[in-house]
Each structure stands twice: as structure tokens, then as C-alpha cells.
Structure 1
């Protein structure tokens, strides 16, 4: 018999009453750390689900659940997980964990201006942020929520997302079947009590079946009906539900087009470039704050990344379809420092392969590596990553 933890064992544990990672680990006879790693992977694959339950102290308020699909048509009398006694403060991003957002084109100032004037203008706080992966769209939303002390609720759009999942579903929790509210229901409930930020991530990946549930909640009515619970009406406060809809753009992304009515419901729109394309010095400063690399050396990496970013936007170079995300530039700087500290030859070039080319690019790895190498050779100076220089 295999000693590896299996999803069937975890599902059986949940059906038999286990709720937290520690309880599951005890039932399956594995260490909490090993169980936690497996659970994270299964949550990402949607084999199990992680929900917050404020009346359950063990495990930091989190419980693991699995779908109870057989109960979906008869959910009106099911108990609700946590009885909807949500502690909204625990949904607010920790300001210490959210990086300071560096604006590309005053987009944050403009969003805050709309928010501050909404009582006078009657304008609903609905915002769209488009741009390539890794340009800071999610960071903008997190920073805005943390800065305003607003709970942040994320709706992750994808082709498998069903409208029912936005509202809630029956789940097996600790061996019992309970109703677990979905993110849209929670957002509406939160808006009754305070300002809430709803991140609609990758909205252009949402299909018609999920948009049919989502978009009616974004107008002045701010309400939904939960059919499996006897058409239970959930109403919110439209003015206090700040929505930030993000979308990735570029020929490398498969997306669903938004029609004119959907665009209007999503509100005002900003198109963000990579920070380094708009302000190389700002991105270099950001890299320097996240790594031991000085901003002058970080600027060399940013300039090299910009060569690839520009190529991704150039229709005459169809091989390269995506730019270098800012997190990849940060990882490049961190890795280059580590390689240099170890005394490895060509730390910047080695790190470029490990942190940028191989994780982000595949069939065009050679093209990307060639452009970056050429850019590094053209740089005014080569980054000096010796420990004395870096820590000075």
C-alpha cells in the first residue's frame, strides 16, 4: 500500500467529521506540514475547498469542505456555515503584506478621486484594469483595499466557473452538509455594513453562464436571488461595493469578448503598461526594495526586460507574445544575487535562464534569451553583485 497521501483519504476524512488541516492530518495519519502542502495543491485543483468559518476556532478559522452535489436542489433548509456572522475585518488585506503601489499613469489617484466624489456624482465605483500579466493589476486592488481598510473578496474567473458557485453551494463540512456562501453573496452582505472591494480577476475568462449571475449584481440594484435556497434574495449597497475587474491583454491569452452593455457595467477603464516601460527608474527602485540589488544595477535588468516587452508588442516579431512580468524581474535580481554570493560564474546570465526564460517562456526561449543577452551587452555597466557592493 502506498504511503502517499491520497485525495480519497482526505475526502473520507472530511465526510467523517474532520474540518481543519490538523484534524485531517490526524485522521489520515500524516504530518500537518505534509498534509498542508497536499491540501494547498488540491484546493488549487478544486478537489477540496477552503472556507473561513468564524465560529470554529481551530486552524485559524479555516475549514476544508467538499461539494455535496446531491443536495444542490434542496438547499433551502440547510444550515449556513458560520450563520453569516462574518468578521469582515479579517477580509481586509494586511497593509504590511501589500507592497506600495507605484502608479504608471496616475491611475490610483484617478480611482480615489472617483471614490471620494461618488456621493456628489452618484457614480458607482466600478473600475476596469487591463494590461499584461505581472504589470500590477492585482497589487493595485490589494493596495486600494488595504489603504481604505476595506474587506477584499476575490472572484477568480475561468471557463469552468459556474454562476451557482458565485452565490454558494452545499458543502460537506465536518461530516455535515451545510450551505457555504459564494464570493458574490459575501460581497453583497459585506456592502450592507461597510465599503468592500470586489476583485473580479480575469473577467474576460468568464463565460456567459457565470456572467449571467455576476453582472446583474453590479448595477444599482446590487442584488441576487439564490434559487436553490427558495429564491432567497440577497441585497447589497451598490455605492459601497467597489469592483475592480482585471483582464489580461495580448495575443497569448484566450479570452471571451465583453459586449457594450457588460463594458458599461464594469465602469471606467485604465490600460496599464509594465511599470518599467513607462518609468524604468520606478521599476528599478521597486526591484531594489525587494532585493539586495542596488537600483543602478536593477535598472540594467529592467532595460533588458523592456527589450522583450517591446518585442511582445511588435507585430513584426510574432514569435514573442508576452513581456517579462515585474515579479520575474524581481526573481531575476534575487537569483542573480544568490548565484553571485555563491561565487558562480555569470550570475546575471544564469539567473536570467532560471528566473525568466524557463519559467515564463517555452518554445521561444532562445529568442528571448538572445534579446536579453544582447541588451545586457549594450548596458552602460555590468551589475556588480559582489556582497560588499550589494550590502554597502
Structure 2
């Protein structure tokens, strides 16, 4: 039973490796960091494959994966654990971070800067040579089991100054930079993940690239590989490409009428053929 505020996912190593297509040396860097018991920081835009990468690496390393979706209300107790009342008795319940430390799992803190800075400070002794987790409520300090690896991610372009990662945290970690893949790779990913034909995947990728080139268009985020896959899957389910693009790309990106109109103009240009091969 996880602590109340912790949105977590716990998975054993998959029997088949989750699909991830390397675009650089990120897999080799992660493997080297894992072998040297170094924590890893993944930096990159929303929907570019960071979470899938961690899933694939957990499979490669043969370790369970514990994922925590960080948010403003996440407390140290949510990560470490707390005493809960069960059947009239008080019982200690490990948080996801403590469980990963005990079991030698990979602990992935997704969008770590969404958590309060006083919460992320608990990571410091785990992220340096000590590899320990002090549990003040129990009066003990845990040493990380073999195989434990701390992985955190965030989107530098989205965060404000008030929601940046502390330098004292950054400099404890090996950083891997992510971005949207090259056009040919992204087309292959969209096609593989959705089952859509190559020409439709190509059109969607070209649309995404056009949106990403927009400068000062009032968009907080641009179209990710994730939303392209969603649009392709909607098209596979019978929607027209315009309908799919509206539901999966335009509507999630903006609530502004003028910005939406500009995006629809791009849809008219890049998805005019409406091919469903």
C-alpha cells in the first residue's frame, strides 16, 4: 500500500524489452552510470521518450522499476514512508523511494521539479558516494541495495525559475539530454506504435516539425512524438486525419482561439491529402 500522496507505478522487469529507438549514445551512458552506481538526470521536452527510455533501460539492467509522478503536494513522507493506522495498530509503510532502496530497484521520479525543493533534498545522500537514505521517523539510515539506481527527469524549457532543479542536486547526477528524434526516426516510431501507414506517419511528422518551428506563437508546449502517436491511433480507429489532429494535437496544445486557428492552417497544409494507407 503506497503512501496517500504518492502517484506511483511499480513494475517487474518486462519479459520483452519495451520499444525504444536510440538516437545517440544515451543507452551507453545510462548503462555506464548504472554500473558505476551514479544517479541519472534526464532532460528534455514533454513526450520525447524519456519514460519509455527508462522502461527499456530497466529491462536491460534486469531491475524492477518504481515510477513516481511528482507534483506540488508531494512530501518527503510520500517518498520515504509514514506510520499508518491499520486494524487499530500503527504500522510503518515504506514509500516508493524507500522500497526501491531496500529492493535494489530503479526509482524514477518523473518531472522531479514539480515536487517541492524541501522534498527533493532527501535525495542528496542517495545521489552521492554515500548511497544512503536517512529515515528520521524510524531512527535508521538505509544503505542502497545492489542494483538501486535513482533516475529523475524534467523539462528545462517548461520550468520557471521558481521550479528549477537545485544546483546541489544537479551536480550529483549524470545528465542525458533528450530531444525529439530526427524526422526519419520519428516517422518510424509513429508508424510502429500506431500501425498507421508510412505516408500518414510522414505527414504527421512534417506537421509536428512545422509546429515546432513556430516562434512566439503563444504555445507553452509544441507537438510531441506522443501526441503524433495518439493522432495516428485515432486515424486508425476511423477518424479523418483532420479530426484526429484536432483531438490529439491542436486541442491539447492550446485553448487560445487565435493560436488554434493558426495551427489549423498548418493542418490544412500538411494533412491536405488525408491519406490513410
* TM, length-normalised to structure 2: 0.87
Which residue of structure 1 aligns with residue 142 of structure 2?
234
Alignment partner of 1:256 is 2:163? yes
Judging changes above 3 Å, is the alpha-carbon distance between structure 1 residues 169 and 115 closer, same or farther for their aligned structure 2 residues?
closer
| Rg larger in structure | 1
- Helix, strand or coil at the partner of 1:329: helix
- Helix, strand or coil at the partner of 1:240: coil
Partners of 1:306 and 1:161 in 2: how far apart?
Answer: 35
How far is the alpha carbon of 1:241 from its aligned partner? Answer: 2.4
Residue-pair matches, total: 275
Structure 1 residues 32-63: Cα deviation after superposition (integer angstroms, max 9, x where no partner):
xxxxxxxxxxx9xx9787999xxxxxxxxxxx
Q: Contact conserved, 2:194 with 2:229, CA < 8 A, in 1? A: yes
Of 23, 47, 53 in structure 2, the residue corresponding to residue 140 of structure 1 is: 53
Of 254, 260, 267 in structure 2, the residue corresponding to residue 365 of structure 1 is: 260
- Within a 5 Å distance, the mapping from 1:1-392 to structure 2 comes to 91-96=11-16, 99-116=18-35, 118=36, 124-173=37-86, 177-191=90-104, 196-229=105-138, 231-237=139-145, 240-251=147-158, 256-265=163-172, 267-275=173-181, 279-311=182-214, 314=215, 317-339=216-238, 347-363=240-256, 364-377=259-272, 382-385=273-276, 390=277
How far is the alpha carbon of 1:155 from its aligned partner? Answer: 3.2
Partners of 2:237 and 2:132 in 1: how far apart?
Answer: 52
Partners of 2:7 and 2:250 in 1: how far apart?
Answer: 33
Partners of 2:39 and 2:4 in 1: how far apart?
Answer: 33
| RMSD after superposition | 2.8
Q: Contact conserved, 1:205 with 1:254, CA < 8 A, in 2? A: no
- Helix, strand or coil at the partner of 1:228: coil
Partners of 1:172 and 1:48 in 2: how far apart?
Answer: 16
Q: Contact conserved, 1:171 with 1:179, CA < 8 A, in 2? A: yes
Structure 1 residues 320-360: Cα deviation after superposition (integer angstroms, max 9, x where no partner):
231112221111112123235xxxxxx11111112221233
Q: Contact conserved, 2:6 with 2:68, CA < 8 A, in 1? A: no
Q: Contact conserved, 2:74 with 2:115, CA < 8 A, in 1? A: yes
Where does the alignment leave 5 or more consecutive residues of structure 1 unmatched? 1-18, 20-42, 53-89, 119-123, 341-346
Bigger helix share: 1
Where does the alignment leave 5 or more consecutive residues of structure 2 unmatched? none
